[in-house]
Amino acid sequence: MAFIKKSPDAACDEAVSADANDSLRAAERDFAGLIAQLDDADPSTRRWAARDLLAFPASTTALVARLKREEDRSVREFILTSLTRLGDEIAVAGLVEWLRSEDAVMRNEAIEAMKALPDEVAPIMGGLLADADPDVRIMAVNVLESLRHPHVEAWLIEVIDYDSIINVCGTAVDLLGEVGSPAARPSLLRLRERFADEPYIQFATDLALKRIGEA
């Protein structure tokens, strides 16, 4: 395929655009300036600000506040990246609040961000798995899917032992089939007996028990 040579005007426009971005990042890169730029009308300005605030651990409160009202998905991605890398209690609390959003895209964004914070999320996982909202409990199990933490199996066993909602238990059983050990076998058998009339639970527990036995 032949390369198309850009016109001098096009090359000039690109250079100006690059210079503008460089100038933008060079100006007001102190903490106060970056916080102010989180509310700029230009999404690119907000993206750079969210990215560069990573250098300031105290920025998590402002980043969480901006996340709540940010409508541009690309800006949210930058904010979430900074929050996961900063990873303090304020950041985690903000992600949990995002997890409760009515918007499925936003909930998925929170799940993916929380998966990157195993040590920070671990202390609140018990509370999430016992949340009054079954949807939050299901999403918490989804976070466990990629949460590299030694208590994952214990958390899942507790879910299938005590949760009364079939969909929550089913989600936990599916994951136990991937990460479970023989320690999960008694709880899986009890769950199968507790939901003896539920075809999916019967299928899922049988599959999990088979995988655990093969492993």
> Which domain-ending residue is among 105, 135, 154?
105
Residue 12 has which token pair? 């000039």
Same domain, 56 and 93: yes
Number of independent structural domains in the chain: 2
Residues 63 and 125 occupy one common structural domain = no
Q: Note whether 139 and 193 are same-domain residues.
A: yes
Is 6 domain-assigned? no
Q: pTM of this prediction? A: 0.78
DSSP string, 139-175: HHHHHHTT---TTHHHHHHHHHHH---HHHHHHHHHH
How far is residue 214's CA from residue 14's CA, in Å, rounded to a whole number?
Answer: 58
- Domain presence at residue 10: no
Q: Are 76 and 129 within one domain?
A: no
What are the structure tokens assigned to 45, written together? Answer: 């300005």
Helix segments in the chain, DSSP class H: 8-26, 31-37, 43-52, 60-69, 73-86, 89-99, 104-115, 118-129, 134-144, 152-162, 166-179, 185-194, 199-214
Domain edge (last residue) among 58, 83, 105: 105
Q: Quick one: CA torsion of 145, 147, 152, 155, rounded to 10 degrees?
A: -80
What gap in Å lies between CA 16 and CA 105, rounded to an integer? 35
Q: How confident is the model at residue 148 (pLDDT cuts 50, 70, 90)?
A: confident
Q: What angle do CA 201, 175, 147 make, to 5 degrees?
A: 155
CATH number at residue 204: 1.25.10.10
Give the residue carrying structure tokens 């066993």: 157
Q: Is 133:100 a contact under the CB 8 Å cutoff? A: yes
Question: Over the stretch 40-76, which tens digit does the pLDDT of each residue have?
Answer: 999 999 999 999 999 999 999 999 999 999 999 999 9
| 34 domain residue, yes or no | yes
Which pLDDT value is given to residue 21? 53
Q: Please state, in angstroms and as integers, the Cα–Cα distance from residue 17 to each residue in 11, 51, 123, 130, 139, following that order.
A: 10, 19, 45, 50, 41
The verdict on 81 and 141 lying in the same domain is no
In angstroms and rounded to an integer, the radius of gyration of the C-alpha atoms of the chain is 23
**Model pLDDT for residues 63-111, shown as the tens digit of each residue:** 999 999 999 999 999 999 999 999 999 999 999 999 998 889 999 999 9
User: What is the span of the domain harbouring residue 81?
Assistant: 23-105
